[in-house]
Amino acid sequence: MDAFMMIQRKKLTIFTDAKDNILVNELKKIIGCIIKVAPANQQLYYKDEIMDETKTLSECGLNATIAKAQSPATIGLALKMENGEFEPLEMVPYSLPPELPYVMKSQETNGQEPPM
């Protein structure tokens, strides 16, 4: 089954999907083709844990029931620096939208009046 992922590094976000039975190293190759960085120079994180590139995505906890298209799994990406160490993981959060105006809130509840 397909697992849907949102890969984040600083302000970069990549949305992709992959079979949940592929190795993490294969996911790194997919990312590498997009950002032009070799898989050996990438480090992936899921739930603040470094993903083992010899395991499959499902062995790391990513499968179709968790990583859905409407709510993809968030994976952190860190790249190797010139000194040979990986940079610290940094994912810039998105800004939150403003609160809905009262008129739109009443439409959201199917025209029902909000409780007073």
Q: Compare 56 and 106 and report the one with higher pLDDT.
A: 56
Distance CA 109, CA 48 (A): 37
According to DSSP, the residues that pair with 5 across neighbouring strands are 16, 73
Are 23 and 37 in contact by the 8 Å Cβ rule? The answer is: no
Q: What is the model's pLDDT at position 102?
A: 79
Q: Name the maximum alpha-carbon separation found in the chain.
A: 61
Does 2 have pLDDT greater than 70? yes
Q: Which band of pLDDT confidence, cut at 50, 70 and 90, is reported for residue 115?
A: low
Residue 22 to residues 55, 91, 106, Cα–Cα distance (Å): 8, 25, 45
pLDDT tens digits, 4-54: 999 999 999 999 999 999 999 999 999 999 999 999 999 999 999 999 999
pLDDT tens digits, 61-114: 999 899 999 999 999 999 999 999 999 999 988 777 788 787 777 655 555 555
Give Cβ neighbours of residue 78 (< 8 Å, ≥ 6 apart): 9, 42, 43, 45, 86, 87, 88, 89, 90
